[in-house]
């Protein structure tokens, strides 16, 4: 996952193991990953170069892993040429390790297990927010009932001058209840944009605390509230990157030079990465039938008989970047 941040697979595995098992030495890491001590030392050297591990202060002969939030910020600083991809990968790693529980001060993170706990905390945010609420809302169109239920707390925030920015998926643009809700928000000062896909469900309050799903792949498995400055900085950078590339709700997204809509381009990228129709439908917030229809249309336009061939043709025709 961290290849886009300049980290090779073995070094990433060693870094993750050092986070999960901080007491292990070179021999134990080599045994865990089925490699030699020399390879582990080389990985540690690469990690040290990237500032992801540091010499242990106790004896000066070993290493300890830098906390993910700080480590990801350091990697991001080295990879500004790939800003969006880097921030997505960093935020996902931060979310994964935040979900494991507190890794520093106890006040840095908090587990919310039940739906009631999450709703109570969201209600408290509505009462205590001071300046800004930033939200990623993946999952496609929300029900009319859910949208209606959110109006009272949203109205309370906007009436207090709180800036509200929300990014939905492009798939909600044809959903009438969502269109009506966005019009309602906009009339009261709320800002809404859309994009083809979102990396994670996320709410950031006052750039001081953020609510994330406990499991990146399943938001129903509870949530984690994080307050660490490094983590919040990474998540705010992620939000700003996605927000800058997203399209205001009242503006129609323009196709790319190949004539692909943003949604079609994302489907093509996901197809090339090996995602199934069902996984693509969840990522884009559309039905599996719609995902299959878009995929079939792309195969036809690329004159491809299989998804693999579609990926090859897409690279050959310049629809996807060439990679080794």
Identify whether residues 142 and 286 lie together within a single domain: no
Q: Which CATH number covers residue 282? A: 1.10.10.10
**DSSP conformation letters of 34-53:** T--HHHHHHHHHHHHHTTSE
Domain that residue 268 falls in: 262-316
The residue among 248, 271, 304 that closes a domain is 248
Identify whether residues 7 and 122 lie together within a single domain: no
Whether 5 has a pLDDT exceeding 50, the answer reads: yes
Domain count of the fold of the chain: 3
Determine the average pLDDT of the residues in 302-310: 81
Rounded CA-CA distance 132/158 in Å is 10
Instruction: Work out the number of other CB atoms within 10 angstroms of the CB of residue 85.
Output: 15
Residues 78, 225 contacting (CB under 8 angstroms): no
Q: What pLDDT is recorded for position 125? A: 81
Rounded CA-CA distance 306/45 in Å is 42
Whether 281 has a pLDDT exceeding 80, the answer reads: yes
- For 113, the token pair is 């297990």
Identify whether residues 211 and 270 lie together within a single domain: no
The residue among 195, 220, 248 that closes a domain is 248
Identify whether residues 300 and 211 lie together within a single domain: no
* Least confident among 58-72, 165-179, 234-248, 272-286: 58-72
On whether residue 160 sits in a domain, the answer given is: yes
Identify whether residues 97 and 179 lie together within a single domain: yes
Q: What pLDDT is recorded for position 299? A: 87
Q: How confident is the model at residue 104 (pLDDT cuts 50, 70, 90)?
A: very low
On whether residue 78 sits in a domain, the answer given is: no
Tokens 């908090």 sit on residue: 110
Rounded CA-CA distance 224/91 in Å is 13
Q: What pLDDT is recorded for position 4? A: 58
On whether residue 226 sits in a domain, the answer given is: yes
Determine the average pLDDT of the residues in 37-66: 76
Q: pTM here?
A: 0.64
Q: What pLDDT is recorded for position 243? A: 92
On whether residue 236 sits in a domain, the answer given is: yes
> Which among 200, 205, 142, 149 is positioned nearest to 171, based on CA atoms?
142
Determine the average pLDDT of the residues in 200-209: 89
Q: Is 136 helix (H, G, I), strand (E, B) or coil?
A: strand
């Amino acid at each position: 996952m961290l290849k886009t941040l300049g980290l090779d697979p073995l070094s990433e595995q060693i870094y993750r193991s050092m986070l999960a098992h901080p007491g292990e030495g070179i021999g134990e890491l080599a045994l865990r990953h089925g490699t030699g001590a020399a390879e582990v030392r080389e990985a540690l050297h690469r990690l040290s170069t990237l500032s992801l591990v540091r010499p242990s202060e106790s004896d000066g002969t070993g290493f300890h892993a830098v906390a993910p939030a700080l480590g990801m910020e350091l990697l991001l600083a080295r990879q500004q040429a790939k800003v969006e991809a880097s921030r997505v990968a960093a935020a996902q790693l931060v979310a994964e390790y935040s979900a494991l529980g507190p890794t520093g001060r106890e006040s840095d993170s908090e587990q919310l297990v039940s739906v009631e706990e999450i709703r109570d905390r969201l209600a408290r945010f509505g009462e205590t927010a001071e300046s800004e609420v930033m939200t990623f809302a993946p999952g496609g169109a929300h029900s009319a009932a859910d949208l209606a239920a959110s109006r009272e707390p949203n109205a309370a925030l906007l009436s207090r001058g709180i800036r509200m920015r929300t990014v939905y998926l492009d798939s909600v643009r044809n959903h009438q209840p969502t269109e009506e809700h966005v019009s309602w928000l906009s009339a009261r000062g709320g800002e809404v944009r859309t994009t083809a896909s979102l990396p994670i469900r996320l709410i950031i309050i006052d750039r001081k605390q953020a609510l994330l799903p406990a499991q990146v792949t399943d938001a129903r498995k509870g949530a984690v509230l994080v307050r660490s400055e490094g983590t919040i900085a990474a998540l705010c950078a992620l939000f700003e990157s996605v927000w800058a590339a997203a399209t205001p709700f009242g503006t129609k997204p323009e196709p790319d030079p190949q004539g692909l809509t943003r949604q079609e381009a994302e489907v093509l990228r996901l197809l090339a990465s090996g995602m199934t129709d069902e996984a693509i439908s969840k990522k884009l917030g559309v039905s599996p039938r719609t995902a299959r229809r878009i995929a079939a249309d792309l195969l036809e336009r690329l004159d491809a008989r299989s998804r693999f061939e579609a990926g090859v043709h897409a690279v050959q025709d310049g629809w996807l970047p060439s990679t080794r």
